[in-house]
Chain A
């Protein structure tokens, strides 16, 4: 079955004032929609047809560039909309908080590392909180690569991901990526992060 652009499950204006409705609409319908269409075109008629996106990404080095770019774009945006979905806990607790404290020293230290990764990714890409061998790590990837891919420096399960392509923030924040990264932090749905952490 072909991949489908997932519905957001909330309105385009639901993340105002942190992320504006126009950015949400273009980001979801045009950018994410574009990756979805191109991914389907890239897998159609190949032996990847019918495989899950996770299965495709884990061996991405043996697939085409179009599969890597659009498969990554498809998966990453699916995750992004969920980890900033309105509602849910505003801070981590339980096992996830314990793991953050153990891996980074404190929530504040994790925040600093995550923000730093998001700000220093030069060009287009993503910053991540990754679960790797029962430990949490912060990383960043270029373009639409992600921690599920066998080409990633830090491989594991993505728990949080922030899109730092300029299309994610340029209409509202322009050159001020730090303001967007701070706004993203306010939007994190920690229930969703905990769900991904538990697997």
Chain B
């Protein structure tokens, strides 16, 4: 299957001042695009030539896994932002977060801590596990919770390329701003699916 870079549901400067237009230009226009190009090239002539990204994430290794998973991860990341979106979790998702973490505030603290302490490149995730419970997990590099049969709901990219032009070494500041552009309507829809 030939994958394509999905069109962003907002303009490149829409997340300013939290994520700059320049960061989006590189992160989406260069990094995300390069993962798309590379997974298309690397999967040719392999058992994954016609596989979905989910199949690649669950079964592939090496370059096919790295690039395929990064396509999925970045699409999932970019599509959860909306500067005019729903600012707080509501209804069923809110109840589930409170049941698991005590409060939305405590959840944010715990998730931010997971994103801050991941050493090197990777991702922090809110997931729904096989029992339907919420969990916070970290994955290194291109890792994706689908590999462990967990359903991703929310993710924070903590590769340095996600924030270095805007925040340099100040990863905690990037994570603080990350919350301001999450559209909780998107996260709720992922949870209810």
Which A residues form the contact surface with B (CB < 8 A)?
26, 30-31, 34, 65, 69, 122-125, 142-144, 165-167, 170-171, 174-175
B44 lies within 8 A of chain A by Cβ: no
Cross-chain contact of B31 among A26, A34, A143, A175 (Cβ < 8 A)? A175
For B31, B141, B142, the residue with the greatest tally of chain A CB atoms inside 10 Å of its CB is B141
Q: Which residues of B contact A166 (CB under 8 A)?
A: 121, 159-161, 164
| A196 shortest CB reach to chain B, Å | 25
Q: A69-B119, A123-B121 are in contact. Are A175 and B164 (CB under 8 A)?
A: no
B149 lies within 8 A of chain A by Cβ: no
B45 lies within 8 A of chain A by Cβ: no
- C-alpha gap A171/B122 in the complex (Å): 19
Cβ < 8 Å to A, chain B residues 16-59: 26, 30-31, 34
CB-nearest residue of chain A relative to B63? A122
Cβ of A174 and Cβ of B142 under 8 Å apart?
no
Cβ of B159 and Cβ of A123 under 8 Å apart?
yes
Q: Which residues of A contact B161 (CB under 8 A)?
A: 166, 170, 174-175
B140 lies within 8 A of chain A by Cβ: yes
| B109 shortest CB reach to chain A, Å | 21
Cross-chain contact of B169 among A30, A69, A123, A143 (Cβ < 8 A)? A30
Nearest 6 Cβ contacts at the A-B interface: A166-B160, A123-B141, A123-B121, A124-B120, A143-B120, A170-B164
Q: How large is the interface on B (under 10, 10 to 19, 20 to 34, 35 or more residues)?
A: 10 to 19
Q: Which residues of B contact A30 (CB under 8 A)?
A: 168-169
Cβ of A122 and Cβ of B142 under 8 Å apart?
yes
Q: Which residues of B contact A174 (CB under 8 A)?
A: 26, 30, 161, 165
Cβ of A124 and Cβ of B164 under 8 Å apart?
no
- C-alpha gap A125/B34 in the complex (Å): 20
Cβ of A171 and Cβ of B164 under 8 Å apart?
yes
- C-alpha gap A45/B28 in the complex (Å): 46
Q: A124-B120, A143-B120 are in contact. Are A170 and B169 (CB under 8 A)?
A: no
Cβ of A167 and Cβ of B164 under 8 Å apart?
yes
| B72 shortest CB reach to chain A, Å | 16
Q: Which residues of A contact B119 (CB under 8 A)?
A: 65, 69, 143-144
- C-alpha gap A69/B122 in the complex (Å): 15
For B149-187 the 0/1 string (1 means CB < 8 A from A) is 000000000011100110011000000000000000000
Q: Which residues of A contact B160 (CB under 8 A)?
A: 124, 165-167, 170
